[in-house]
Amino acid sequence: MAAADNSEAIIARIIELAKTKQSGISNDDIKTCFGEISAEILQNVNKLIQSQVLEVLKGNSGTLVYRYKDPAKKSTVSADMDNDERIIYNIIEAGGNTGIWVKEIRTKSNLMMTPLTKILKTLENRKLIKAVKSVNASKKKVYMLFELEPARSITGGAWYQDSDFESEFVDVLNQQCLRFLQQKRVEAKKLKLSPYEVQMKSLCTVVEVQEFIKKLGISKIELTEEDLETILKTIVYDGRAQRVLQTDGSYLYKSTDTLLPAEGIVQNPCGICPVIQHCSDVGSITPKSCVYMSEWLE
């Protein structure tokens, strides 16, 4: 009897946890709630999936999430639909937060385009479904349930606005993240510690960078750790920062000097000039008349 009571308590906690997140809860959320993911907890999660209290979806990062299915809402929705509308709604629901193309809906429902378009419009007007533009194909739309938050693979995440890549926003974030890493390193050097200690003090977490960007107020949307880690990786790939793997699988970041500074000849226009072999003191191509050389000297 005690085991049954414990199982009911676990199920109740999982349901309450799932109700707090419309997009669904992950295994990490469950672990945070219970402190661990035991075999008993997994069994009860499976029970909730089998009884259709929870449904399994693919989250933004590709991991599985469990979303609560409100039985009252589901019965209300189904009661107000005819058979064709219910079929279309179920097909779209199965698409989760990655959505589903009209062509695929038509194939699965076996409906002609005219009645299908009418049903989609009806469900949209009743705010049961919504059409979302995909960054992968800006002229096409995918359909998903109205209350779902589209996956990053559809919206492009923080780097896209109305399917357009925000290159200037990314550049600003790149500069500010690098500035934070550089400041951290400068402050570490001021402490007059050993070289090893300076290196350790120069390291920072993604959370620290996230808090710094948040305080600057340069983003209209809330950037996640995953968003900032993407920016930090680009700085690493550019050779301006280094990331250090920790025992828990996470990374720390620090700014770094380039290993091989560019030679002087490469830094001026002559180093990459395609017509340097024709350049001389006389003729149409001379250092004195070169506009690139003038700009570089200024």
d(CA 193, CA 198): 6
Domains 2-68 and 166-255 share a fold: yes
Residue 40 CA to residue 46 CA, distance in Å, equals: 10
**Digit-coded pLDDT (tens) for 153-180:** 677 667 666 666 677 888 889 999 999 9
Could you tell me which CATH number the domain at 166-255 has? 1.10.10.10
Binning pLDDT at 50, 70 and 90, where does residue 258 land? low
Q: What percent of the chain has pLDDT over 90?
A: 22
The gap from C-alpha 145 to its chain's centroid, in whole angstroms, comes to: 20
Q: Return the pLDDT at 226.
A: 86
Percent of the chain at pLDDT > 70 equals 81
Arithmetic mean of pLDDT, 214-233: 87
pLDDT confidence of 134, banded at 50, 70, 90? Answer: confident
Is residue 205 scored above 90 in pLDDT? yes
Give the integer Cα–Cα distance in Å for 80 and 13: 31
Q: CB of 119 within 8 A of CB of 106?
A: no
Among the ranges given (60-69, 126-135, 200-209, 242-251), the one the predictor scored with the smallest mean pLDDT: 60-69
Name 224's Cβ contacts closer than 8 Å, sequence gap at least 6: 158, 210
Q: How far, in Å, CA of 30 to CA of 234, rounded?
A: 32
Domain ranges of the chain: 2-68, 71-163, 166-255, 264-297
Tell me the sheet residues that pair with 130: 144
Q: Which burial class, exposed, middle or buried, applies to 227 when counting CB atoms under 10 A from its CB (0-12, 13-18, 19+)?
A: buried
Average pLDDT, the chain: 81
Dihedral over alpha carbons 150, 156, 161, 164 (to 10 degrees): -130
Average pLDDT (7-19) is: 90
Closest to 253 in 3D by CA, of 203, 197, 208, 179: 203
Residue 171 confidence (pLDDT): 87
| More confident position, 76 or 80 | 80
Whether residue 1 has pLDDT greater than 50: no
Q: What is the DSSP letter of 204?
A: B
Q: Right CATH number for 71-163 from 1.20.140.160, 3.40.50.1580, 2.40.30.160, 1.10.10.10?
A: 1.10.10.10
Question: How many Cβ atoms sit within 10 Å of the Cβ of residue 196?
Answer: 8
Query: What is the bridge-based pairing of β-strands 129-134 and 137-145?
Result: antiparallel
User: Is pLDDT above 60 for 70?
Assistant: yes
Domain 2-68 matching CATH 1.25.40.10: the answer reads no
- With cut-offs at 50, 70 and 90, classify the pLDDT of residue 4: low
The span from the CA of 253 to the CA of 282, in Å, is 52
Query: Could you read off the pLDDT of 24-55 as tens digits, one per residue?
Result: 888 888 989 998 888 889 888 888 887 778 87
Residue type, 199: Q
